[in-house]
Amino acid sequence: MPVSKDEFDQLHPCDFYTADELLEGDRMYTVYEIARLLQGLDPDADIDRETEDVLLDWAIPWIMTNADDLVVAEPRSDDEPGFYGLKE
């Protein structure tokens, strides 16, 4: 249920990194690594499953929004996720 803005001490702008600001041009990243980077974490940071699920809620729309600036690589094996990187 929606709540009143008055219930929050502070409201922040909804600014996100651009793909160029977040990703290195010569690297490919999984959605999990992108999720960590969006929160200022190391892409290999060890986080619990519940936190990772929340971070994915941010990463998936970010990938869709920045799709024009990204390339996609299919998984190298069946037990690996796909990868995303900057278009050159």
Q: Confirm whether 70 is domain-assigned.
A: yes
pLDDT score, position 31:
95
Domain containing 40 equals: 22-86
User: Is the residue at 41 inside a domain?
Assistant: yes
**Token pair recorded at residue 85:** 């990187």
Structural domain count, the chain: 1
**Can you list the alpha helix ranges (DSSP code H) found in 39-82?**
49-65
pLDDT in tens, 3-60: 999 999 999 888 889 999 999 999 999 999 999 999 999 999 999 999 999 999 989 9
Domain assignment present for residue 77? The answer is yes
Q: Supply 35's token pair.
A: 């999720």
Euclidean distance between CA atoms 76 and 86, whole angstroms:
18
User: What's the alpha-carbon Rg for the chain, to the nearest Å?
Assistant: 15
- pLDDT the model gives residue 52: 92
**pTM (whole model) above 0.85:** no
